[in-house]
Amino acid sequence: MKDHSLTLASAPVAQGRTAEIFMWDGQHILKLYRAWCPPNWVEYEARIAGAVYQAGIPSPAPGEIIEVNGRRGLVYEYLDGVSMLQDMNARPWLLLKHARSLAELQIQIHRQSITGLPSYKDRLRHAIRSTSHLREELRSKALAELDVLPEGKNVCHGDYHPGNILITKRGPIVIDWMTACAGSPWADVARTSLLLSIGAKAARQQINPVIRMAVGFYHRAYRSRYDVLFPDTQKQMERWMPVMAAARLNEDIAQEREALMKMVIEGVIPSGKP
């Protein structure tokens, strides 16, 4: 790991809760974790991102781990493009094309298997146990439902949505692999469906009114394309939805809480009564 004791001259080109993105040179960017982040996060991301890239999944090529003024970061190749979410906002007539592409790319991911990935079910179990928004009865029922769902060994992104797809000259590229895990493809599809049906309500400022009205169509087109290529003959996705909703509550997004609770109650209690 190289130590770059310097002050970054430019402002970040993007930032989130855990990291800032800087241009590093003409061909690379730097994902620089914030000072409070545990040091092992960057090693974990480098390992997962490297394994995903080597498996042939369309993703950015990771580079070296570096340190800048006590903060650790990971260099990636620079990819010129916009997110699928941004492209739909700017060019809504491509809605159907992007919905189908979202499904086709996800199936490409799900056909892969990578050793050493954490279990999707273990991650969901931890989230359901950790959330403060579930009564113990609902928590127990959600965990019981999770226990009987299939384990799976397929590569799952864990946070797959149009904001994590870059539209580039090379084609669509999937980014942000920190949540990658091994599990059932239908768990990953359920997470995507949850984000499209409920999570979109919390992203109103990112989506213009035309796209907001078309989210339902986009979601149905995505699911339809996925089902054509990989039919859900055992209706597994429906079984994963309330479990995924219970786990999503741990992310503590106030705008989604009521809808998520309704989904959990209707999914794990047959009568739908609390």
Q: What is the CATH number of the domain that holds 20?
A: 3.30.200.20
Give yes or no: residues 72 and 102 share one domain: no
Q: 236 and 256 share a domain?
A: yes
State residue 202's pLDDT score. 54
Question: Which of 23, 56, 77 is the endpoint of a domain?
Answer: 77
SS (H, E, C) 35-91: CCCCCHHHHHHHHHHHHHHHCCCCCCCEEEEEEECCEEEEEEECCCEEEHHHHHHHC
* Residue 223 shares a structural domain with residue 145: yes
**Domains: count for the chain:** 2
- pLDDT score recorded for residue 203: 53
Domain boundary among 22, 50, 77: 77
Same domain, 152 and 250: yes
Are 163 and 243 found together in one domain? yes
- Is the full-model pTM beyond 0.85? yes
The last residue of one of the domains, among 50, 77, 104, is 77
165 and 180 share one domain: yes
Residue 274 falls within a domain, yes or no?
Answer: no
pLDDT of residue 92: 86
35 CA to centre of own chain: 23
Query: Are 101 and 169 members of one domain?
Result: yes
Residue 273 lies in a domain: no
**Which residues form the domain of 195?**
81-268
The tokens 């794990």 sit on which residue? 268
pLDDT value, residue 272: 45
Task: Please name the residues in contact with 141: beta carbons below 8 A apart, sequence gap of 6 or more.
Answer: 268, 269
In this structure, the answer to whether residues 7 and 56 fall within a common structural domain is yes
Q: Which residues contact 100 (CB under 8 A, 6 or more apart)?
A: 221, 222, 225
Mean pLDDT by 10 residues, the chain (274 residues): 58 85 90 92 93 94 92 94 91 93 97 94 98 95 96 96 94 94 97 86 56 80 95 89 96 90 88 50
Based on the domain organization, do 102 and 234 belong to the same domain? yes
Instruction: Please tell me whether residues 87 and 66 are part of one structural domain.
Output: no
pLDDT at 212: 66
